Structure 1
Amino acid sequence: MDDPSRGGPPSPNRGRAARRHQRSRMIERARRCLKFTGIPDPDREAFALRNHDHLASCSCWMCGNPRRHLGEPTIQERRGDDARAPDLGADC
């Protein structure tokens, strides 16, 4: 059985309580992220309520997708290349 708390796919039977729990959890996370920014409390609360759904820190070349920014192959492509590559260590 898929358990959403274990990182599996979300259950189609999740109800309103689960959505409310996730929303409150992300609002708390937004509050914690903003604690040390020096923003006053009322502004921080308003920001957390407004932006709790998109808290990704950054999408720069260091934090973002290496395929997009650096042109690196994906893990699946690397595995495929390794499987197709001739075995150079074998004696014939």
Structure 2
Amino acid sequence: MKDLIRGIRRHHLQRLKKARVTDHAIGESRQGDSAVLGRHVNTPAKCSCWMCGNPRRYFDKKSRQERIQDEKFAADSLMTGVENFEEVMQ
């Protein structure tokens, strides 16, 4: 079983390397570098700037699941009689 999982992982690694050989995120001058290609396959984002990075980090936006959970909590709080939702969340 362990060899099967390792084989699948190696297959996907080779498949992704083949697909991303001509990716523009690597850069024209480093196109043939296998170390850069391996790093790009494992971490496809070129950087973590405000455009590429996590919106929660830069804009304090909550994920969809967090917003749904907050709405459910607010509805439950109204049913149980908690009046100030913001105080409960702190």
TM-score, length of structure 1 as denominator length:
0.53
| Gap change, CA 1:65 and 1:35, over 3 Å in 2 | closer
Q: Which residue of 2 aligns with 1:63?
A: 52
Task: Tell me the percent identity.
Answer: 31
Q: Which runs of 5+ in 2 are unaligned?
A: 79-90
- After TM superposition, where is structure 1 displaced by more than 6 Å over at least 4 residues in a row? none
Q: Which residue of 1 aligns with 2:87?
A: none
Aligned residues: 72
Residue 24 of structure 1 and its aligned partner are, at CA, apart by 0.8
**Which of 11, 14, 36 does residue 4 from structure 2 map onto?**
14
TM-score, length of structure 2 as denominator length:
0.54
Q: Which runs of 5+ in 1 are unaligned?
A: 1-10, 87-92
Contact 2:22–2:31 under 8 Å retained in 1: no
Q: Which residue of 1 aligns with 2:31?
A: 44
Q: Which has the higher helix share?
A: 2
